[in-house]
Amino acid sequence: MSKRKKGAGKITQSGNLPRPGQKGPATIILTQPRRFGIDIADYMLAVRAFENVDYSRRFRLYDLFSDILMDTHLTSVIEKRKNAALASSIEFRRNGKPDEKVNKQIRSPWFRKFIGDILDAKFWGFSLVQFYRKGEWVNYDLIPRKHVDPVRRLILRHQTDTTGTSWDEYPDLLFIGSPDDPGLLVKAAIWVIYKRNDVADWAQFAEVFGAPIREYTYPTDDDEARQRALNDADSTGSLSVFVHAEDTVLKLVEAANKTGSADLYDKLCERCNNEISKLFLGNTLTTEASDKGTQALGTVHKDVEEKVTLSDRQDILDVLNYDMADIFAMLGIDTTGGEFCYPEKKLIEPEKKMSILTQLRTNFNLPVGDDYLYEEFGIEKPANYDELKKRQEEKAAEIEAAKARETEKTEEDKPDPEEEPELEKHGKGTPKEKKNALKNAYNWLKRFFGKAPGRDGAALEW
């Protein structure tokens, strides 16, 4: 692990007026981003300025990114992709066991925000952050991207500067991404611009043809009549109005199929949204319904989106386990000999889980902890758990003792295997065998002698 030298201090930022509590001049002077009124010409100008080999000027492109992020669909798909990774908890393990000291830090709010900025590096091209201690906890600042030249590793005081301070003077900086990567937003920008212009034309179409138009005429060269018509138009609602002289003709040339024209605007808007969804999520059916969508096709699209999430999660682990190693050491957090990971939990239905636990107990005689069962099935542990457990154990011991006594009694009633041949030889056997033998003998004698004669003697017939 390399040793980091003492840095030049904390990078501060403000506008032309210093912020409350700020001491001395700010390192970075912020400028308000340009919003709206952006067309394809502005887009191409920003891309060309970014791609300048000698002096890459990025502020136009990042202003463009800030503007297009006002689009609701673009924001939605980005948040969906980020939340898929943010919803998975990260854990630090050393020798296969969780390290509570490190995990306490990464459960704090700064860490979740940091994971979001790691993911934003894919959308913007890079993220540059400066870490510092804030009491017991770690914190960091995101350096404004308009004031960073990743190729020449410079911090720019003004966004239009071509020279600045080398960020190597700040050992607590962490760069995430690629210096020459414009980010995924550069591909989304053109679709947002097309959609914005399309929706604007659609709104104008609805305004003109979606409501009736009032028409006022006045005699030619009669200024007083013209003024009265204008006053009437101003005082009778906000619908569209045309005021003209009688000798002029007003014609509104409508589209041949107004319903078809509205569908055209809708289709173009849908196409733009679909392209944005495919760019960030790899599919469309998880964000938009489709007439041609089926359950099988939806499953395929969902699988593609899950692969995107797995890739994002691996990128996050790469930053934490490799790029952040020196930063953690500088902050006094020991991560040597361990690694960050996603602890995976198998999702099993409660019925199946109960069956598995029962088989483990009956078939393999594997003990299962009571605390695990309470936690796994969401059952509240009784307050007098120890007393109830002791009663159960005593009752189980009594049952086992009774079974043992019954077994011993049964064993005593059985004849000795060595004596059985002698018993058979002398006509002896078990008590049951003796009883059966006597009964059989009695029945034989009864049949032999027949019925006994009465008092008058037997009646002989010969």
Give per-residue pLDDT as tens, 54-90.
Answer: 888 999 999 999 999 999 999 999 999 999 999 989 9
Can you tell me the distance from the alpha carbon of 64 to that of 58, in angstroms, rounded to the nearest whole number?
10
Is 462 within a domain?
no
Centroid of chain to Cα 205: 40
Residue 299 has pLDDT above 80, yes or no: no
Residue 199 has pLDDT above 70, yes or no: yes
Is 315 in the same domain as 238?
A: no
pLDDT of residue 296: 55
pLDDT of residue 35: 86
Is 89 in the same domain as 144?
A: yes
Is 159 within a domain?
yes
pLDDT of residue 383: 83
Residue 125 has pLDDT above 70, yes or no: yes
Mean pLDDT of 411-436: 57
**233 vs 127, higher pLDDT:** 127
pLDDT of residue 414: 60
Count CB atoms within 10 A of the CB of residue 27: 20
pLDDT of residue 1: 43
% of the chain residues with pLDDT over 90: 46
Count of the separate structural domains present in the chain: 3
Is 231 within a domain?
yes
pLDDT of residue 311: 94
Is the distance from CB of 163 to CB of 135 less than 8 angstroms? no
DSSP, collapsed to helix, strand or coil, labels residue 93 as strand
Is 99 in the same domain as 130?
A: yes
Mean pLDDT of 328-344: 91
Residue 462 has pLDDT above 50, yes or no: no
Residue 408 has pLDDT above 80, yes or no: no
- Low-confidence winner among 174-178, 285-289, 304-308, 456-460 (lowest mean pLDDT): 456-460
Average pLDDT value for the chain: 82
Residue 325 in tokens: 């190693």
Confidence of residue 207 (pLDDT cuts 50, 70, 90): confident
Burial of 69 (0-12, 13-18, 19+ CB in 10 A): middle
HSE value, Cβ hemisphere, 13 Å, CA-based, for 446: 6
pLDDT of residue 2: 45
pLDDT of residue 258: 59
Confidence of residue 436 (pLDDT cuts 50, 70, 90): low
114-150 CB burial, b ≥16 within 10 A, e <16: bbbbbbbbbbbbbbbbbbeeeeeebbbbebbbbbbbb
- Low-confidence winner among 2-11, 89-98, 313-322, 343-352 (lowest mean pLDDT): 2-11
pLDDT of residue 290: 56
pLDDT of residue 67: 95
Confidence of residue 460 (pLDDT cuts 50, 70, 90): very low
Is 192 in the same domain as 266?
A: yes
Residue 343 has pLDDT above 60, yes or no: yes
Is 145 within a domain?
yes
Is 216 in the same domain as 248?
A: yes
pLDDT digits (tens, 9 = 90+) for 230-259: 887 777 766 677 787 887 777 776 666 656
Is 214 in the same domain as 353?
A: no
Is 217 in the same domain as 163?
A: no
Is 461 within a domain?
no
Is 458 within a domain?
no
Give residues with Cβ within 8 angstroms of 94, minimum separation 6.
Answer: 337, 338
pLDDT of residue 396: 82
Mean pLDDT of 30-44: 91
pLDDT digits (tens, 9 = 90+) for 311-325: 999 999 999 999 999
Confidence of residue 400 (pLDDT cuts 50, 70, 90): confident
- Low-confidence winner among 52-56, 191-195, 299-303 (lowest mean pLDDT): 299-303
Q: Which domain holds residue 100?
A: 26-182+311-336
Confidence of residue 422 (pLDDT cuts 50, 70, 90): low
Is 32 in the same domain as 115?
A: yes
Is 149 in the same domain as 63?
A: yes
pLDDT of residue 91: 94
Confidence of residue 136 (pLDDT cuts 50, 70, 90): confident
Confidence of residue 419 (pLDDT cuts 50, 70, 90): low
**460 vs 113, higher pLDDT:** 113
Is the distance from CB of 79 to CB of 279 less than 8 angstroms? no
Is 34 in the same domain as 175?
A: yes
Is 225 in the same domain as 85?
A: no
Is 441 within a domain?
no
Which strand (E) or helix (H) includes residue 46? Answer: helix 40-50
Is 58 within a domain?
yes
Phi, psi of 266 (to 5 degrees): -65, -45
pLDDT of residue 442: 57
pLDDT of residue 412: 62
- Closest to 118 measured CA to CA, from 128, 131, 109: 128
Is 129 in the same domain as 243?
A: no
Mean pLDDT of 372-401: 82
Task: List residues bridging with 94 in a β-sheet.
Answer: 97, 338
pLDDT digits (tens, 9 = 90+) for 92-121: 999 989 999 999 999 999 999 999 999 999
